[in-house]
Amino acid sequence: MIQLPCPWCGPRNASEFTHHGEVTPRPDVGTATPEEWRRYLYFRQNANGWVDENWYHTAGCRRFIRVRRHTTSNETEATR
Amino acid sequence: MSRHAGGKRLGPQQGEVIDRRTSFEFSWNGKPVNAHPGDSIVSALAAEGERVFSRSFKYHRPRGLLTASFHDPGCMVQVGDEPNVRGAHRLAEPGMAVSSQNTWPSLKFDVKAINRFAGRFLTAGFYYKTFMKPEFLWPTYQNVLRQFVHAGEISPDTPHDYYDKRYAHPDVLIAGGGPAGMSAALAAARAGASVMLVEEEHQLGGHLRWSNPGAAAELTAEVAATEGIEVLTNSVVAGRYDQNWIAVAQRDLSHARERLIKARARTLVVAGGLIERPYVFAGNDTPGVMLSTAVQRLINLHAVKPGERAVVLTANESGDAAVADLERAGVEVAYVADARKGEDVVRVHGRKSVRSVELANGRRINADLFVTATGWTAPTSLLNMAGDRPVYSPTAARFLPGGNGDDSVLATGGIAGDGTLDQLCEHAEAIGTEAARRAAGHRYHQLAAVPTRYGGKLSKPRGTAATLPELGVHEHPELFRASTHGIVDYSEDVSSKDLHFAVKEGYDSAELAKRFTTATMGPLQGKLETINAIATIAEATGKTIAETGTTTWRPMYTPVSLGALAGRIFEPVRHSPMQRWHEQHNATPLVAGQWIRPDHYGEPSAEVRNVRENVGIIDVTPIGKLDLRGPDVPKLLNLLYVNKWSKLGIGKVRYGVMCAEDGVVMDDGVTGRLGEDHYLMSTTSSGAARVWEWVENWLQTEHPDWQVHVTPVTTAYASINVAGPKSRELVSRLTEGVDLSAEGFGYMQVRTGRVAGVDDCVLWRIGFTGELSYELHVPASYGLHVWEALLEHGKDLGVRPFGVEGQRILRLEKGHLIVGQDTDGLTKAWSAGIDWAIKLDKDDFVGKPELVWQQENGDGARLVGIQPTDGNVVPPEASQILTKSGAIAGRITSSRMSPTLGRSICLGQVDAELAKPGTLLTVHLPTGAKVAARVTEHHAHVDPEGSRQNIDTPPAKPRPHATPVARGPVAAGRKTTTIASWQVDARRSSAGLRIADHTLLAKVGVRGRHDGAIAEALGTGHGRTIRDNGSAVVVGSGPGEWLVLGSPGGQDKLLSRMRDLVENTGEFGTVIDQTHGRALLKLSGNHAKDLLAKVCGVDLSDAATPDGAALRTSVARLVTDVIRLDDNGVPTYLLHCERSSGQYLFDALLDAGAEFGIEIDGCPTAPTL
Ligand SMILES: [Zn+2]
């Protein structure tokens, strides 16, 4: 099991966190077309490389953190 | 002296591990065998002259000792109910019932040995080819093959053994306790590292135990005398995963069959030594053919004479040493064939035992023992798992590490190269020192990142990267196979001929030939056979060994039982404060997520009728409850719910529906406004955790500027719904400070007041059942008191408890939907029949665009009330609804027989065109029958006008009642006492490790900015605990989150003190009484840390988690706050979790503490902090 570097708690086992997926900006609700909205709902980069993800430290500080993770090597860096 | 004629026990040996002072008996295939403590099962048998221990897997050939180690393929035996026990490793115990495996009807006469004669038909791939066609015979084939499967037997009645689990965080973990492993451990420990030294065998020492017992004893003593080395023998490093997450299996503990240690090692040193390789020749699996190390082990460790007359084939010092040992043990060495001079063997003769050895020069020598020393295999498994690709060295005739793995993994000892003992130890010391240096670097970064350590500057570790020394390799002849064919894989009965055949069939790569023949895929997983298999494949393909390459070593390195992998099974459960009452009153339990709830107390329909006619009470504690505070709460509610919240007055309650961004209904519930900036939100029971996370997500990632604090208070309150026409009468008898009249406290309103003498109760007038009803939220510790008061004071009104099933019937009669039952993962809000609540004129709310489009397109199903034409038919839930042409057009989502109407009632989802009231539907039952049903006017089947909940009965006068009693979440013992209205356990224990329920301590939660004025005023932040000048303990439990602990009964004073503190800062902050919402356990004793390390994966070392540390993590899979607050130097931890899980946590800690002699301590006097 990998550890995630929680910027509040320090390194913790990934099992303490909930994965909230890639960071996907929310379109403007007033102007979004169905196409744009559904891209926001369902489309992800799924890159073989660095991705920005949201993780929730469920069993720890209960903060949402931003983790930059390499999807093949699992190298990580996190920000608050 | 053995009492058997075949006795092979030698006189005392210098390195022997047996204790000759005593002996005992166990049984082997029913007959008694004598053994000394320290004997393995097989060494005891060999001492009595036994030579055959099993039959081989495919050909059922007799098998004897080969390696005399854990990896001896012929020595797997059945012990009692446990199959596949490594007989040359497992220590003999008095009374053990040992039997041989793969033998039928007996070890001596085995019917399946006929396979030996049929051997030429059982070539590689035989099973694949033979048992393929025709397909209709597959069941028959299965029966035949079952007769030939591996190994022993297990009985389904075997009781479950106790398996254990533990976490560890060593700086340096060393796999292998031979001279290199021990030297590395000593060097690492001297450099200041914490070391875990793991040895697969029963003693440290590796090959020194038989080659140089004096040196082994000396090193072992030095390890024992050195601070900071934890030695685990009879344990194995089974796997290495990302970031040095290392699985260690500890075997045969006094309290557990096996224990899995999950270690997060900062550096791993692989020092597994070398495994001696068998030689391939005709008859190489005949009992009496042994490896040179096996002979040395038998003589030196177990004082067993391995034979009477020996021939030795040697290519190295180990073979030479075996010759010397044999001679010393009085074995006649008939001939030594020196492979270095080109001598070789052709075959051994004999079936159940070696009779003679035929050499390459044609000479045939009578002997009962043939010893080979033809080379080594480096078990590079752990290095492979760290990304290293080993390379073949023709000089050394073995694979060596490629040196290209992860830099947190190092190798030393025989795996890394050859040398004298001094050279090996010197190399290992350099590796150990470097491992400690790298670990210190990792530790520095870890400590710099944790908020729990003491303040002050961390000193950066000194020292620069050492140039790692290299061991040379000694020349060794490449010896794999003689001129004849023999067994390559002993556990799978794969011969060199099979491998040649596989290559001829086209399986010409190592990975393919391995799978086709199953070579290296048996219980030994390649440890003995990999190199010979690769050499044979290379020979058959005409390639070099380097070109052929090795197969991949994967975890586990050796078999680990499934029980050990499962460890302790932690399944948190949650109980309401009334749970024990329900159990005592014969409630049928219903498992709903983690909650155990009363489904009913006997007859659900009777419970329903009593609610409709009199009054019933139901325990609804699991309903999710979130306390929301701050000026921006209306903004949050407007964002999360589809309906509007800006104008909700104080004292008013509104029903709301939440959707996800795709417009699908996610949760529902009521939210009430208790004060100017104070709201209480309720959610579904199953959705409570998800909604909380959802709310935090929106607040933290989208609107961090909003001033809102969310606190889960689900189990801070015991929730009781009082429903029925007589509910006002009952509630008013016990309530003070609230006008309960119909006009004073109307439908969809909320009040706070005193119920049965308990202050701070929240009363909602809402109705899920359709009756006049009050939902009482009582500070949880008083839940049972209020529950019992309601039953006591409602006797004359006919009050009775009702369960979840009764409630489900009542709500269906009233037509209330249940999210997740009447909706599914595709149900958008317009399909849930809540059109009246959806307000598309709001600027924004979660999921709004999808609902705009759904309304425009009119798509999706509709939720409607349905009644079968025949009221006696209850269509099972999920029955399909069909169109006239037979297409599926919906389904029944809920159905019950209504006790009130005496007919069946349903809710269902149907296509929009079938949703009009009065539409005739066809319902397709699972039986295949079709019944007619009609869409009803309303969702509600009973009282659609809603008049029942508005009956105007006068409230009663409050009556005197029993004094409130508060109770903690943990069941108290028989002797109790009362402290500040709390009934607590009066036991006292003086055990070295104790656990006590200290829930009665006052607990106040404070929220604010993590770096603002409130943080400054409280004097501590996330991760640390201080005692403030008002004798309270302030715990920095999260970023911008504190828990303040005080004396029992002191919560009101503490609450107002904290409110003043927050107010004085002028900063936005929240102060909430959590006394009843949290369970608080105190664990103290010198083994407290060891206990926690069994249930908690966080590093609890003094450096990372010293006195005063506060952290939240998973304890026995439960989110728990851990506060270290030592008591006069005795390690002490306060653990707190949601109150409903308090009993679970208590039980889990008791279970984990059993091996340390934990005892329950009561609370005879008020606990001090
Ligand atoms: Zn955290």
* Separation of CA B950 and ligand 1 centre (Å): 49
Phi/psi of residue B1110, nearest 5 degrees? -135, 130
For residue B823, pLDDT beyond 50: yes
Average pLDDT over residues B890-912: 97
Q: Would you say B852 and A29 are in contact if contact means Cβ atoms under 8 Å apart? A: no
> Which chain A positions have a beta carbon within 8 Å of B446's beta carbon?
10-11
Amino acid B123: pLDDT: 61
Eight-state DSSP code of residue B1166: -
- The domains found in chain B, sorted by start residue, are 24-146 (3.10.20.440), 163-274+380-449 (3.50.50.60), 579-627+641-812 (3.30.1360.120), 818-946 (2.40.30.110), 966-1161 (3.30.1360.120)
Beta bridge partners of B574: B595
Radius of gyration of chain B (CA): 37
Residues B241, A15: C-beta atoms closer than 8 Å: no
Label residue B2 by pLDDT band (50, 70, 90): very low
**Torsion of Cα atoms, A56 then A57 then A58 then A61, to 10°:** -130
Beta bridge partners of B805: none
Q: What is the pTM of this model?
A: 0.94
Residues A16, B1039: C-beta atoms closer than 8 Å: no
For residue B381, pLDDT beyond 70: yes
Exposure string over B610-619, b if 16+ CB within 10 A, otherwise e: bbbebbbbbb
The string of pLDDT tens digits covering residues A42-74 is 999 999 999 999 999 999 999 999 999 999 888
Amino acid B742: pLDDT: 94
Considering only the beta carbons, identify the residue of A15, A20, A74 that sits closest to B697: A20
The string of pLDDT tens digits covering residues B39-89 is 999 999 999 999 999 988 777 889 999 999 999 999 999 999 888 999 999
Q: Which of B1112, B1118, B1121, B1137 to mutate to test the interface with A (most CBs of A within 10 A)?
A: B1112
For residue A39, pLDDT beyond 60: yes
Residues B450, A13: C-beta atoms closer than 8 Å: no
Question: What is the residue range of A59's domain?
Answer: 3-78
What gap in Å lies between CA B484 and CA B528, rounded to an integer? 19
Residue of B nearest to A40 (CA): B661
**What is the ipTM metric for this complex?**
0.98
For residue B105, pLDDT beyond 60: no
For residue B144, pLDDT beyond 80: no
Nearest to B36 by CA among B44, B45, B48, B28: B44
Residues, beta carbon < 5 Å, ion ligand 1? A 6, 8-9, 57, 60-61
Residues A37, B849: C-beta atoms closer than 8 Å: yes
Eight-state DSSP code of residue B25: E
Label residue B132 by pLDDT band (50, 70, 90): low
**Torsion of Cα atoms, B589 then B808 then B1138 then B668, to 10°:** 160
Q: What is the CATH number of the domain that holds A28?
A: 3.30.2270.10
Q: Which of A15, A62, A66 to mutate to test the interface with B (most CBs of B within 10 A)?
A: A62
> Which chain A positions have a beta carbon within 8 Å of B848's beta carbon?
29
> Which chain B positions have a beta carbon within 8 Å of A64's beta carbon?
696-697, 700-701
Eight-state DSSP code of residue B9: B
Eight-state DSSP code of residue B662: T
Amino acid B112: pLDDT: 54
Average pLDDT over residues A24-43: 96
Residue of B nearest to A62 (CA): B1038
Residue of A nearest to B448 (CA): A10
Q: What share of chain A is helix, strand, coil (3-state, %, to 5)?
A: 15, 40, 45
The string of pLDDT tens digits covering residues B1080-1093 is 999 999 999 999 99
Amino acid B101: pLDDT: 83
Amino acid B146: pLDDT: 62
* Separation of CA B447 and ligand 1 centre (Å): 14
Chain A / chain B CB contacts < 8 angstroms: 80
Eight-state DSSP code of residue B1085: E
Q: A48 and chain B: CB distance < 8 Å anywhere?
A: no
What gap in Å lies between CA B775 and CA B815, rounded to an integer? 19
Q: Which of A39, A64, A79 to mutate to test the interface with B (most CBs of B within 10 A)?
A: A64
For residue B1, pLDDT beyond 50: no
Label residue B1011 by pLDDT band (50, 70, 90): very high
Residues B243, A2: C-beta atoms closer than 8 Å: yes
> Which chain B positions have a beta carbon within 8 Å of A13's beta carbon?
1097
Domain count, chain A: 1
Query: Integer distance in angstroms from the first to the last C-alpha of chain B?
Result: 65
For residue B455, pLDDT beyond 90: no
Label residue B34 by pLDDT band (50, 70, 90): very high
Q: A72 and chain B: CB distance < 8 Å anywhere?
A: no
Label residue B150 by pLDDT band (50, 70, 90): low
* Separation of CA B744 and ligand 1 centre (Å): 47
